[in-house]
Chains A and B, each alone.
Chain A
């Protein structure tokens, strides 16, 4: 599904943040990336989504056999790469319902399918709203504007469910959530797991991984993966922190 080889990334015209990262995620697997602040976790998610503020100076990313770096942000999204933002952007004046229908239809058109009319769309969206416990009236509000932290993250999971992506990148989707919201988000993500869908879960904490159990856990430090293991590694990190690993490095 995703093959990252010797990836080097700099902030456009500036410092190098990711320094030779290798990662392979087969279809259907859930991989977690953990690591201390400033290790390059969010940079990785932006690079996968195609943010122009980051420059790939070396290495390759292959997604479903294609060169991901050759595609722009919208092409990546249309071909099934989904980033759940750590800080979902507020867009005043753009109605959420309109926005959701537009992104669904943009994907359908790119796949040669007809656009959904409002009623067809509503049928589709109604199921998903239940999944993340949001009310239909949230469709009338502006995208993310005035949403609580939990509502924003649930809106991200809602979009993920609507677009049915192949690769889901969750950038600290658990941050800023209380226990109930975390359960809803975790349950939503868990419901989307399937043999053809891979997850890359970026997180600081074990708690999201209780809901979305990872096949592999990687520790990112200084722009490189310094250690990998199974789901028990996350528990160990929760207990012991990162320092023992970092010390082992140097």
Chain B
């Protein structure tokens, strides 16, 4: 037996999951299990109870309407990557999800699980932050919606309380023809990112950027928005000169170093990834602006 002892419970509805979380001592939700099960096998965690939410069908699904992409918390990462609907409305998802683990882990891993685990190097929290996503959380006091910026509290810490679960993530979509770019550096394919940058871009008919969003994973304690770089780009003509100025903002990130890369190194890699992501975004913007 690798994991420490716990009692397993399977919930078949959202109210049942909330009830179990409220009633049970020291309980953890089991979503896709691609991080939690590894942490249990390594005995980093010792929950007394596991509440499995894999048998709650209403937690899975992808819908797009009124300019919003809605993804159920238990939707598998592979299902999002493979969705033609998502690819058409928000092509950055498929591009980014190719970097999320491996096929075997994407088949089980969920978007809600990734957001709640909040690994600093994880790509999905960075995508949610990039889109100013809204996270719906259900608990014994009812439902509440949390903006992604407030959902992220600190290193691997979210605003979700112990008796709550994430049910839905809503992404406001950018207009058709927006530019997008995702660049990541890791030692091997599928490894945790040393630095990853996601960006979205819109410009006017003269090529001046009118709207830009940039998020960075793997560098600071959580995914962050690079607001200084966004502000530096607005009104400028998209191109190497503007992108170099934006990349310089990476020097000010509150970077955290570890055995895989120092804080300084991560900031330098982030600057390179930012230039690449912005260049891709520019080349992908619809030419008619």
Whether chains A and B associate is no
